[in-house]
Amino acid sequence: MPARRPPRRPQRPAAAPHPAVGTELELEVTGVAHGGVMVARHEGRVVFVADAIPGERVRARVTEAKKSFWRADTLEVLEASPHRREHVWREASVTRDPEGRAGGAEFGHIELAHQRELKRQVAVDALTRMAHIEPADDFTVQALPGDDERDGTGWRTRVRLQASADGTVGPFAARSHTVIPVTSLPLATDAIAEIAPLATRFGDASSVDLVAPSKGRALSIVTTRDGSAPPAQPILETVGDREFALDALGFWQVHRAAAETLTAAVQRAIDADEFDPRAANLDLYGGVGLLAAAVGDRFGQATRITSVESYETATDYAARNLSDWVGARAITARVERFVEGLADDATAVERGRQRAATVVLDPPRSGAGKAVIDELVRTEPAQIVYVACDPVAFARDAALLGAAGYGIRSLEAFDLFPNTHHVELLARLTRD
Ligand SMILES: C[S@@+](CC[C@H](N)C(=O)[O-])C[C@H]1O[C@@H](n2cnc3c(N)ncnc32)[C@H](O)[C@@H]1O
């Protein structure tokens, strides 16, 4: 007997867009929010506005209408902020139709020093509101070497171009997956700009990655639509005198000066009096071992440290990159699995080593999260150095750490992503 098909569910009609979507508003922009958008109000409701600056009056079109907030795109600047300037990327300018603006440079219309001030405000707001931590009065977002001279351009050593159905490549539009053809990539390093195939059509590509390592020539790697992985390409990055091997498409800090800046900042953050080279020191979310090497280079040959990373290829490279330290090892694991039961399953000797440990953690944008923080604090490490690429996720984790008795002893912020809204924080935490 043929199998009976279940009766078809009546199809739900597609929800009609909210009547506000598409309407135009005049808005007074009053502040900055997380995520590269500014804050305004319309009839008491918060509207997050793209391509504006606090202090401006703009005409904007509503793109999304939720119960508690709306989103809008700036169409025209009616009263400009003194911090407004011509966008560093012509193809992302507010003078274009919002759907045709290139994404990835959402602060490019703001003077560089003021971008950093807005990033500082976002970080301070997240930390005070979510973690009840008040950064010191002199807390600022620090520029990386060379950025002021180039107005925050020429720093990206990695660029992904997306391919549209007709083979045109370019960045996605600011808030959609529409590929925008562009004639330049101002945030990219000169080496990438030179090889960028912006006028080429790629018949069967889904994306083209451009990678400019600090050693060797820049590479262009095509990923095809059939989903097959491009062949592995080992590259070398240098940080001071140290070399790191990695796969061209593996994680590496994107700004040309970021690896050096974070190495120095991690070395500076660790309190030598709290550091024990024989302890069960950890480098969580370790990539190819950049920050474990920073620890090893500061504290010498006898340093014991375990670098934990989920991507096996990166761990293989990390093992190689950390071979100078006999006490260093790299293991492939998800951090949440690695820390699970770490304290409970340890012997008394191991517990002593855990309590004496320095833990460096550098999670992805979503942060480490409750499960990881809860297990980590059960090991009671002597100090935690948290490298964060998202201030809100960091504030969430800092609140959990605070509840477990770990307070922030030092805090720095770096403008690793000029002309975008992103900011990097680096904090050292110890028990009260
Ligand atoms: C922000 S990167 C930092 C890498 C390294 N610390 C560096 O500075 O080069 C985060 C790394 O965490 C890895 N990762 C992401 N989620 C993970 C997880 N749940 N467990 C372990 N590693 C993870 C990624 O593959 C990436 O290499």
Q: How confident is the model at residue 17 (pLDDT cuts 50, 70, 90)?
A: confident
Q: Cα(134) to centroid of ligand 1, in Å?
A: 28
Q: What is the ipTM of this complex?
A: 0.99
Average pLDDT of the residues of the chain: 95
Q: Which of 205, 196, 193, 194 is nearest to 168 (CA)?
A: 205
Bridge-based pairing of strands 424-431 and 141-142 is: unpaired
Ligand 1, CB cutoff 6 Å, lining residues: 251, 253, 285-287, 290-291, 308-311, 314, 334-336, 362, 364, 389
Shortest-distance Cα residue to atom 26 of ligand 1: 287
**What's the confidence (pLDDT) of residue 12?**
64
Which tokens belong to 399? 């609140």
Q: How far is the CA of 90 from the centre of ligand 1 (A)?
A: 33
Q: Whose CA is nearest to atom 27 of ligand 1?
A: 287
Could you tell me which residues are beta bridge partners of residue 28?
A: 57
Structural domains present in the chain:
24-84 (2.40.50.140), 122-147+238-431 (3.40.50.150), 158-231 (no CATH)
Mean pLDDT of the 403-419 span: 98
With the most atoms of ligand 1 within 8 angstroms of its CB, the residue from 285, 337, 366 to mutate is 285
User: CA torsion sign, 375 to 377 to 379 to 385?
Assistant: positive
Confidence of residue 3 (pLDDT cuts 50, 70, 90): very low
pLDDT digits (tens, 9 = 90+) for 331-374: 999 999 999 999 999 999 999 999 999 999 999 999 999 999 99
Rounded to the nearest angstrom, the distance between the alpha carbon of 285 and the centre of ligand 1 is: 4
* Whether residue 34 has pLDDT greater than 60: yes
In this structure, which residue's CA is closest to atom 6 in ligand 1? 286
pTM of this structure: 0.95
Average pLDDT over residues 242-263: 98
Identify residue 39 by its one-letter amino acid code: V
pLDDT digits (tens, 9 = 90+) for 265-313: 999 999 999 999 999 999 999 999 999 999 999 999 999 999 999 999 9
Please report the pLDDT score of residue 19 as a whole number. 76
Catalytic residues: 389
What is the rounded average pLDDT of the residues 224-232?
Answer: 85
